[in-house]
């Protein structure tokens, strides 16, 4: 395995970028100190933070639907629609973070895992939405379910904004 990683690292080529004269140049590699500074300034966004934001928006939407309609079935439908986003996203996060399996240095394997877990996320979402009439029965309110589903999906943007604003405030 070490031989494979050494061979892969020796075959890496840096991308060339055309300069203002149209001549393609390769950027110089970063020093260890420059790389450390870059990592400090460009921290990755937190997947846990995004899931937490989705759960918070899910609770907020369910309470808002209940406050507006005074209907437990509408609030339950909104909560179910929200869960159809949050549970598959949690499964995807669990599968792609690799906390339960060894990391691989091969990019192709990592990309395959990403596609497999994204497919599982989509399949679980579709299955949950298809099972809604059976699970909720006469208590199903499609408009509330759709509101919960859409608002929680859109909370990704809220999470990205929140995390980037916090990062800027810390800098």
pLDDT digits (tens, 9 = 90+) for 64-99: 999 999 999 999 999 999 999 999 999 988 888 766
> pLDDT value at position 1?
42
Mean pLDDT calculated for residue range 35-60 = 84
Ranges 10-24, 76-90, 137-151: which has the least confidence: 10-24
Structural tokens at position 7: 């061979």
Give alpha helix (H) positions in the chain: 2-10, 32-41, 47-69, 72-97, 107-136, 142-170
Hey, is 25 helix, strand or coil? strand
> pLDDT value at position 167?
74
93 vs 45, more confident: 93
**Is it the case that residue 14 has pLDDT exceeding 80?**
no
**In this structure, what are the phi and psi dihedrals at residue 141, rounded to the nearest 5 degrees?**
-120, 105
> pLDDT value at position 8?
45
**Is it the case that residue 116 has pLDDT exceeding 80?**
yes
Share of the chain above pLDDT 90, in %: 44
Share of the chain above pLDDT 70, in %: 81
**Is it the case that residue 128 has pLDDT exceeding 90?**
yes
**Is it the case that residue 49 has pLDDT exceeding 70?**
yes
* CA dist list (Å): 89 to 9, 72, 113, 138, 170: 33, 25, 15, 27, 28
* pTM (whole model) above 0.75: no
Mean pLDDT calculated for residue range 17-36 = 75
């Amino acid at each position: 395995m070490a031989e494979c990683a050494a061979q892969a690292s020796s075959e890496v080529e840096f991308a060339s970028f055309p300069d203002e004269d149209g001549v393609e140049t390769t950027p110089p590699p970063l020093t260890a100190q420059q790389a450390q500074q870059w990592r400090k300034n460009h921290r990755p966004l937190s997947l846990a933070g995004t899931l937490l934001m989705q759960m918070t928006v899910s609770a907020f939407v369910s309470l808002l639907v209940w406050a507006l309609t005074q209907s437990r079935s509408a609030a339950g439908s909104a909560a179910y629609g929200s869960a159809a986003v949050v549970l598959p996203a949690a499964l995807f996060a669990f599968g792609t973070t690799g906390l339960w399996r060894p990391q691989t240095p091969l990019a192709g394997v990592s990309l395959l895992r990403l596609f497999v877990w994204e497919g599982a996320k989509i399949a679980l979402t579709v299955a949950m939405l298809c099972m809604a009439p059976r699970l909720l029965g006469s208590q199903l309110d499609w408009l509330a379910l759709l509101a919960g589903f859409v608002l929680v999906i859109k909370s990704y943007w809220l999470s990205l904004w929140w995390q980037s604003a916090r990062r800027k405030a810390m800098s």
